[in-house]
Structures are given as structure tokens and as C-alpha cells.
Amino acid sequence: MIAECLVVEFRVTDDDCPLADATREVGTSVDAQPPLLRRDGNALLHFSSPSEAVGEYLDEDDRIRYLHRTAADGRWNYRCLAKEACVVHSLVDVGFLVDSIHLRDGTERFVGAVVGQDVLDQVLAAAGETVGVSLERISSLRAHEDTPVAQRWDVTPRQSEAVEAAFRLGYFSVPREVTARDVADELGISKSAFLERLRRAQATFFGHLFDDG
């Protein structure tokens, strides 16, 4: 049995896939589920964005078919078929278990896992052969990382989303890289709604950290 499992994060630039092009042209973000590759080479995509303009842009992209959109909680959810495989599939083919994909202004971030050093070496070799793919982080997979943040810390999914977006965009950096308004815009909610979710999540986190019981 292979005991070692590693969390790996890649950053992708200069990709010309439809979603990267859409976020680059519209100036917004997209959160995507791992794409499903069909035998014919087409990919099934499921993603969301705070911007309806993403859908409007993709409507004019000949590489996208059957685009379906719905709106909920200030975000747009999309499903469609892309006529070509995504960059991430070159990593998946050699053992990368992709968990999440985030795109912003044309730059992509893949987070996932690899099992064993041999698989990691193959994934890194594949990344080196793909234009614009760079390794950002490797860390050991801890037991709790197989459990969603919301479940681990007893915060709501919306609070978890607010904290994750704030961390990813640099809201907690010193000096701070973005404002509360920037993070709220990323989530498609008001500044006050973002700050309320963030404070409620922080209160829960601190309650766990400093609970004498």
C-alpha cells in the first residue's frame, strides 16, 4: 500500500481554452468542477461565475456547444460541451487527481492530489511539457483535508466560500492585497454580506481554537 498522498497546486498562464479566454476578456473569475473528457475528445464543463458576461462571451465562441445557464444567489451556473480537451487533462492522464479549478483574468489554478512519488514525478514531467504550467505548492495530505472546510469547522458553505475567496485573493496578506469590496465583487455579493460571513466564520474558528473544553 502507498501511504504518501500529496496536495499539489499548479498555476497556468497563457492558456487559450474557452474559459481562460472568457475570464481574460471579461475581467472576472470562474470556479469550475473537474471537466469530464469524452471518448471523442470533447469535454463536459460545469462552472460558475459572478458575471453573466462570461456566458455572453462563450455564446460567441465556436468551441462551445449546448451552453446552459441558471442564476442563483447572485452567481451564474453554467454547463456546456467544449470541443477540445482542457490543459488539466494532460496532468490527469498521468495521475493528477484534480479537486478544484479556479480561473481569474485568464490565469488558472488547479488544486488536487497525487498518490506516491512516482506519480508525482510523472505529473511534474507532464506539467513541464505543457506551456504555461508552473508548480505553486506541494504539501502532505492531512487526514482532515479529505473533509470539506465547512464540515471540519462547522461553518456554513457560504461562510466557507467567503473565507476561501478572501484567502485566495490576498485579503489576509500583509500588506492587504485586496479590499473587502474586491472580495465581495468576486463572490457577487454586497460588501456588508461578505464581512458578515467572514466575521461569523472567524468567530467559529476562534471558538474552536480557544475552547477550553
DSSP letters spanning 86-130: -THHHHHTTT-EEEEEEEETTEEEEEEEEESHHHHHHHHHHHHTS
**213, part of any domain:** no
**Torsion angle in degrees (nearest 10) through CA of 150, 101, 190, 164:** 40
**Same domain, residue pair 119 and 70:** yes
Give the contacts of 148 (CB within 8 A, at least 6 positions apart): 160
**Same domain, residue pair 25 and 115:** yes
pLDDT category at 156 given cuts 50, 70, 90 is confident
Q: Please provide the DSSP assignment of 141-164 as one string.
A: PPGGGGS-HHHHHT--HHHHHHHH
- 109-148 pLDDT tens trace: 998 888 888 888 999 998 888 878 888 888 876 655 555 5
Give the contacts of 60 (CB within 8 A, at least 6 positions apart): none
Q: What is the C-alpha separation between 10 and 14, in angstroms, rounded? A: 13
Question: Into how many domains does the chain fold?
Answer: 2
Sign of the C-alpha dihedral computed for residues 4, 5, 11 and 17 taken in this order:
positive
CATH classification of the domain holding 186: 1.10.10
Backbone angles phi, psi at 43, to 5 degrees: -120, 140
**183, part of any domain:** yes
Residue 127, domain extent = 5-143
pLDDT at residue 169 in the model:
87
**Same domain, residue pair 155 and 203:** yes
Is a pLDDT exceeding 50 seen at residue 213? no
Please identify, among 143, 177, 198, the residue that sits at the C-terminal boundary of a domain. 143
Sign of the C-alpha dihedral computed for residues 22, 24, 27 and 30 taken in this order:
positive
- Mean pLDDT estimate for the chain: 85
Contact (Cβ atoms closer than 8 angstroms) between residue 178 and residue 169 = yes
**78, part of any domain:** yes
Contact (Cβ atoms closer than 8 angstroms) between residue 64 and residue 97 = no
**212, part of any domain:** no
pTM score: 0.70
pLDDT category at 77 given cuts 50, 70, 90 is very high
